Amino acid sequence: MPAQRGPTPPRLGASPHGARPPPPAGSGAPRSGAPPLPGAAPPPMAPPPPRMGPPGMGGAIPMMQPPGQGAGPLPPRMGAPPSRPSLPGTTPPSARAGQPFGGGYVQPAVGMSGDFDQPLAETFRALTVSSGPGGGSVISPAELQRPTPEELAEPMRLDTRGDSGRQRGQCPPKYMRMTTNALPNSPATKGKAALPLGAIIKPMARDDAAPVAVVNFGAVGVVRCRRCRTYVNPFVTFIDGGRRWRCNVCSLANDCPSDYICDLDEHGVRRDVAERPELSSGVVEFVAPAEYMVRPPQPPVFLFVVEVSYAAVSSGMLRCVAATLAHTIDHLPGGERTQVGVITYDSTLHFYNLHGSTPQMLVVPELDEPFCPMPGEALVNLSERRDVVKQLLEKLPSMFGATQATEVATGPALKAAYTVAQHVGGKVSLFSATRPTVGDGKLLNREGAGGAANGKGAEGGGLLAPACDFYKTLAVDCSKQQLCIDVWACHSAYADLATLALLARHTGGSVQHFPAFSDVAAGERLSRALQHSLTREQGLEAVMRVRASRGLRIAAFYGHFFIRGVDLLALPNVDEDKSFAVEIAHEENEIGASTACLQAALLYTTTSGERRIRVLTLELPVTSALNSIFDSADVDACVSLTARLAAEATLSASPLTGAEKLQNACLEALRAYRSLCPPHAKTTAALLLPENLRLLPLYTLAAMKAALYASPAEARADERAALIATIANASATEATVLAHPRLFQAYPPLEKGPNGLPAPLPLSAQSVQTNVAYLLDDGAQLSLWFGRDVPSEMLQAAFGWPSLQGVDLATLRLLPPNTSPVAAEIHALVDAARVGRPAGWTPLRVLVQGTSDAPFVRALIEDQTKQMMSYPEFLLHCHRYILSKA
């Protein structure tokens, strides 16, 4: 259980009971002329008051328990990726830009660690731990590690960083990122490093600047290893004058097809390598021949299952969904092959005949054995029936405008959708506004009054377990028929999203959560997200397999899919926003080779009807040197993989178990690293951090302060379930930004960088003033926060109101940018923050200090809360734990 805390520092606007440490210079200290936020430190000229900082070993705030003995106070979220990792014995990171990474490396000729007989670490951060007021330990605020402005500049594009530092032929990090780019040579080495070993894979990542090359082998056929089935790639070796090639995964020598033979140069390299994308690029697509098909390529099929109950109508969900679909069907992919269908439901099911000049509704009241009254005709070719489909979508809101139906048969509606589309497959979009109440799959209200959890104790683990097997069974059946289900949850009350999310979890779908939905407040967000979901780059009827070199194996998979057999991921639909994670384990005591390979292959159908194989390949050095592993670590990938493990632990046990997993992973990694540092550095007054993992404590604390691990009073069960689904599909940097938001001063404006954004501020109340407006970006939502002392002139210029008191913030919108300089400045900042987002857009909400700012306060992850340590406290806890294990 979390340790009990001492007095809690005041939140924004609260009366101070003590002061926080002053922020680092230039990191958001209050500017002259502005009143400080209540509870903040005084201006720099005044001597700093005593801080509430962490106690000494016997202080009032107990430290967190070591691994295996229960977690202590739960700490903030993930952050930004490190610079591209390097190997020991090379130049320092700052001098390595542009140099190739991979291939070989040099063991440093330095001293050895007495702990593991390992080369000593050469580059690390040493944070000074000194005595503070009252005898407790403190870390200087100036030494707190935070992401640089460059690392936070465009978080959704950070996956492209480091390309110049990778060896030619490696898969770009946009598609595949390893937790460490030097692989441990044995299970013992992996255990000593105490870092997660795995990869984050985003196979359909979009890259407009460098589209994936397409290779058609024609009559030659796809070139693969005849034993392990690895696809030919830049790291195979051609031998015997180019007549044979040696597989870089299993080392088998394969014959080259006669039409694929090419002479080798004096270095043993094929003379046509520059003309062969499969031999020069780490990501490539092969046109799949007929033997890769079990049926004709699937056409794009979109089946919309829409609730039309009183709740769906009164909230505006039906109107918003119908209007968005009517607009979007003109932009659906697939051209003349695209098929669409519509099913609506309340306590009965409604099918639509779209083959005439006007749509005809057919009602099916039978719920026990739902059936389609027009078999084979519920789906129509969009290019042929576009006008009738639009006519139906435009009429839907008025058709059900007077409904009083409150019962909904979600389960039977989905069974009907399965019946309609099982012969062809496709994407089913479920729009739900009410918890299922009748028919198969009906769900009870398992949530207690006020959002308190029941089930597995007070932490709410029971509410994250599915209430029944109906939806999982249906999802597995859908996956077998190439049907993907997206869940659009627009509920005003508890929906049991933990159970409904199984529909997406096992079919490769996604969960979009709009709590307390109203079309006025969230209609634009729903509309834009739906447009993006339907029109983005996507692959149909896909399967993916990940292969690793001899001595390694894929131990576990994480994401939304269904596993066929042992290691084949079934993905009825895979799109540019979906990511997957794999854990890698050793299957031999030691890997004898100097390098090892990881290859992911995705077989899918394009929306234009072509069968393709997208192949991603990485080859990495294998080492016994722990400092090589730490120097090559990717903090984003490490935290992203650990976050997935923690989410799974939360589902199977409790949120507390998940938080413990996050905490313990950080503590053990830092403990292992200290053993590699030189003796003179390992003093009791220094917390030693690996250069590439200097942000690991911050991102770990941030992840632990996510809503998933918050108290039941702070986060509802549906919010937790939606967050688990988001983590499952997020790439490394997307997960980082969700955990560690960006905070900018919105007005008065500050100097901006080339990207149109000012320097981000530390996520602490120390950065916030009450007469200033701020923009908070958590990756999914932009929040424009106004302090209570913001001048009325600013509000008038931004919104047309001199005060926001009594104004409905859910409907409040910025004035057009040409209205005033204030409106123009804020619009420009919002637009710059949206650059690089998956949908090209992020919803904006307005928050006001003291009335609606709980999401803003929760995002200040560096501050202490009732249950969680502050960032400096967590660093000290890490330090104490490491010393206790020395």
The Cα–Cα gap between 371 and 363 comes to 11
Q: What is the pLDDT of residue 712?
A: 82
Listed residue (634, 628, 620, 532) closest to 158, CA to CA: 634
> Are residues 436 and 387 part of one domain?
yes
How is residue 228 written in tokens? 């392990």
- Residue 662 placed within a domain: no
> Are residues 355 and 495 part of one domain?
yes
- The string of DSSP codes covering 470-533 is HHHHHHHHHHHTTEEEEEEE--SS---HHHHTHHHHTTT--EEE-TT--HHHHHHHHHHHHHHH
Query: Side chain identity at 580, as an amino acid letter?
Result: F
- Tell me which of 593, 627, 661 is where a domain ends: 627
Listed residue (782, 811, 781) closest to 799, CA to CA: 811
> Are residues 417 and 493 part of one domain?
yes
- Residue 28 placed within a domain: no
The Cα–Cα gap between 860 and 247 comes to 50
> Are residues 482 and 372 part of one domain?
yes
Question: Is residue 143 classed as helix, strand or coil in its secondary structure?
Answer: helix
> Are residues 615 and 591 part of one domain?
yes
Quick check: 810 pLDDT over 60?
yes
Phi-psi region of 157 (alpha: psi -120 to 50; beta: other; left: phi over 0): alpha
> Are residues 495 and 404 part of one domain?
yes
> Are residues 543 and 515 part of one domain?
no
Q: What is the pLDDT of residue 167?
A: 57
- Residue 519 placed within a domain: yes
**Contact call for residues 877 and 63 (beta carbons, < 8 A):** yes
> Are residues 550 and 531 part of one domain?
no
> Are residues 306 and 431 part of one domain?
yes
Q: Which residues pair with residue 352 across a beta bridge?
A: 361
Q: Which domain holds residue 405?
A: 301-470+478-535
**Contact call for residues 548 and 554 (beta carbons, < 8 A):** yes
HSE toward the beta carbon, residue 60, CA cutoff 13 A? 7
- Residue 488 placed within a domain: yes
Quick check: 413 pLDDT over 90?
yes
The Cα–Cα gap between 350 and 367 comes to 12
For residue 36, the 8-state DSSP code is B
The Cα–Cα gap between 807 and 376 comes to 52
The Cα–Cα gap between 418 and 793 comes to 57
Counting the structural domains of the chain, the total is 3
Cis peptide before 748 (omega within 30 of 0): yes
Question: Is residue 392 classed as helix, strand or coil in its secondary structure?
Answer: helix
Listed residue (379, 373, 363) closest to 483, CA to CA: 379
- Residue 271 placed within a domain: no
Quick check: 148 pLDDT over 70?
yes
Q: What is the pLDDT of residue 790?
A: 95
73-92 confidence digits (pLDDT tens): 333 332 333 333 333 322 23
Strands 339-345 and 301-307: parallel
- Tell me which of 572, 597, 627 is where a domain ends: 627
Listed residue (826, 754, 843) closest to 154, CA to CA: 754
For residue 234, the 8-state DSSP code is T
Q: What is the pLDDT of residue 840?
A: 65
Query: Side chain identity at 607, as an amino acid letter?
Result: T
> Are residues 332 and 196 part of one domain?
no
Quick check: 50 pLDDT over 60?
no
- Residue 86 placed within a domain: no
Quick check: 41 pLDDT over 60?
no
The Cα–Cα gap between 174 and 200 comes to 10
Backbone angles phi, psi at 176, to 5 degrees: -150, 130
Averaged confidence pLDDT in the chain:
85
**Contact call for residues 620 and 551 (beta carbons, < 8 A):** no
Quick check: 649 pLDDT over 90?
yes
Question: Is residue 604 classed as helix, strand or coil in its secondary structure?
Answer: strand
CA angle, 573 then 470 then 582, to 5°: 45
How is residue 451 written in tokens? 């959002």
- The string of DSSP codes covering 156-213 is GGGGGTTGGGSPTTPPPTTTEEESBSSEESSHHHHHHHT---EEEE-TT---TTSPPE
> Are residues 458 and 572 part of one domain?
no
Quick check: 754 pLDDT over 90?
no
Q: What is the pLDDT of residue 100?
A: 28
B/e letters for 226-245, b = 16+ CB within 10 Å, e = fewer, are: eebebbbbbbbebeeebeeb
Q: What is the CATH number of the domain that holds 832?
A: 3.40.20.10
Quick check: 494 pLDDT over 50?
yes
Task: Give the H or E element holding residue 254.
Answer: strand 253-255
Q: What is the CATH number of the domain that holds 515?
A: 3.40.50.410
The Cα–Cα gap between 466 and 19 comes to 45
The Cα–Cα gap between 771 and 10 comes to 18
Q: What is the pLDDT of residue 450?
A: 43
Q: What is the pLDDT of residue 153?
A: 62
pTM: 0.85
- Residue 459 placed within a domain: yes
Burial class (CB in 10 A: 0-12, 13-18, 19+), 419: middle
Residues shown for the chain: 886
Strands 844-848 and 782-786: parallel
Burial class (CB in 10 A: 0-12, 13-18, 19+), 289: middle
421-434 confidence digits (pLDDT tens): 999 999 999 999 99
235-251 confidence digits (pLDDT tens): 999 999 999 999 999 99
> Are residues 521 and 394 part of one domain?
yes
Residue 524 CB neighbour total at 10 angstroms: 16
Cα–Cα separations (whole angstroms), residue 93 to 99, 123, 142, 144, 441:
10, 9, 22, 20, 56
The Cα–Cα gap between 878 and 133 comes to 20
B/e letters for 10-40, b = 16+ CB within 10 Å, e = fewer, are: bbbbeeeeebbbbbbeebbbbeeeeebbbbb
- Tell me which of 627, 652, 674 is where a domain ends: 627
How is residue 265 written in tokens? 């140069």
Q: What is the CATH number of the domain that holds 616?
A: 2.60.40.1670
The Cα–Cα gap between 874 and 544 comes to 40
523-545 confidence digits (pLDDT tens): 999 999 999 999 999 999 999 99
Question: Is residue 563 classed as helix, strand or coil in its secondary structure?
Answer: strand
Percent of the residues in the chain that have a pLDDT greater than 90, as a whole number: 71
156-211 confidence digits (pLDDT tens): 443 444 444 345 799 999 999 999 999 999 999 999 999 999 999 999 999 888 99
Residue 362 CB neighbour total at 10 angstroms: 13
Q: Which residues pair with residue 689 across a beta bridge?
A: 125
The Cα–Cα gap between 37 and 16 comes to 10
**Contact call for residues 608 and 338 (beta carbons, < 8 A):** no
- Residue 110 placed within a domain: no
Quick check: 497 pLDDT over 70?
yes
The Cα–Cα gap between 882 and 624 comes to 23
Residues 6+ apart with CB under 8 A from 556: 582, 583
Quick check: 818 pLDDT over 80?
yes
**Contact call for residues 361 and 350 (beta carbons, < 8 A):** yes
Lowest mean pLDDT among 61-70, 493-502, 561-570, 708-717: 61-70
Q: What is the pLDDT of residue 117?
A: 62
